[in-house]
Amino acid sequence: MNEIVYNTLKKKDYIVKNFLLKIIKDMDLSLNEAILIIYFMNQETPILDIDGIKEEAYLSEEEIMEAYEKLVTLGILETKIVNQNGIREEIISLDGIIKSVSQDITKEGKKKLTVDLFQKFEEEFGRPLSPMEYEIINSWLDKGTSEELILEALKEAIYNNVKSLRYIEKILLNWKDKGYKNKSDVSNGLIQESQDNVLTDLYDFNWLDNE
């Protein structure tokens, strides 16, 4: 077998994660930019090794530098100085890629939670929500009210047989005044209120009249 062909076949395969394909598509990266990202992602310690990249990625030095500078400008790649066993070395930071992926995952997670929240309201109300009701619920989220707390308020309203966003909003405002931020705060608050009511009843009970 031809030695050049043999050595080429022996080279390691590169792994391309699906999130990388999404970043390439969303940011409309060129083929050379995509190849460079894939190259760096498959290096244990990514460095701007021009000769290594030329051999592995089949790009010219001009193509490598042009793609690299574009990726740095976009904030996807960054050069950092690190100390390796007392030796200062320039490495390629992939934090920009990780940050982009994290933001996508967070957005998708929040989107799913919000969809589930609306579905829960429609299940409990037994009907589709109106556009105005969607706006009201979204306004609670925009003000920083957690979905967990909103669901607890919904549960409280259904327990009292009231299917009204106005009623739920009053519950949320009441809980906000009490400093409740999640389900645990609500549970602990109800326990404390129950204990306070018992003590109040004991103090108010007229023991002499009961004799």
What's residue 102's pLDDT? Answer: 61
* Statement to judge: residues 62 and 138 lie in one domain: no
Verify that 194 and 126 share a domain, yes or no: yes
**Does 209 reside within a domain?**
no
Question: Is 33 within a domain?
Answer: yes
Q: Which of 52-56, 76-80, 103-107 has the lowest mean pLDDT?
A: 103-107
pLDDT bracket for residue 161 (50, 70, 90)? very high
Same domain, 120 and 183: yes
- CATH at 38: 1.10.10.10
Does residue 205 surpass a pLDDT of 70?
no
Task: Identify whether residues 112 and 200 lie together within a single domain.
Answer: yes
Residues 6+ apart with CB under 8 A from 121: 129, 133, 137, 154
Contacts of 117 (CB under 8 A, 6+ apart): 137, 147, 150, 151
The predicted pLDDT at position 179 comes to 84
Q: State the total domains in the chain.
A: 2
Which of helix, strand or coil describes residue 182? coil
* % of residues, the chain, pLDDT over 70: 75
Confidence of residue 198 (pLDDT cuts 50, 70, 90): very low
Residue 118 near residue 137, CB atoms below 8 Å: yes
d(CA 176, CA 152): 13
| Burial degree of 192 (CB within 10 A; 0-12, 13-18, 19+) | exposed
Q: What per-residue confidence (pLDDT) applies to 199?
A: 42
**Across 36-57, average pLDDT:** 87
pLDDT of 202 over the 50 cut: no
pTM score, whole prediction: 0.46
In a domain, 197, yes or no: yes
Mean pLDDT in residue range 41-60: 88
Query: Does 17 map to a domain?
Result: yes
Q: What average pLDDT score do residues 182-193 get? A: 73
Q: Tell me, yes or no, whether 210 lies in a domain.
A: no
Task: Judge if 40 and 68 occupy the same domain.
Answer: yes
Same domain for 197 and 125 = yes
Q: Model confidence over 59-96: pLDDT tens digits?
A: 999 999 999 999 888 888 888 877 767 777 788 888 77
Domain that holds residue 89: 3-93
Contacts for 165 with CB less than 8 Å, ≥ 6 apart: 133, 136, 137
Average pLDDT, whole number, for the chain?
A: 78
Residues 161 and 193 in one domain: yes
The CATH number for 141's domain is 1.10.10.630
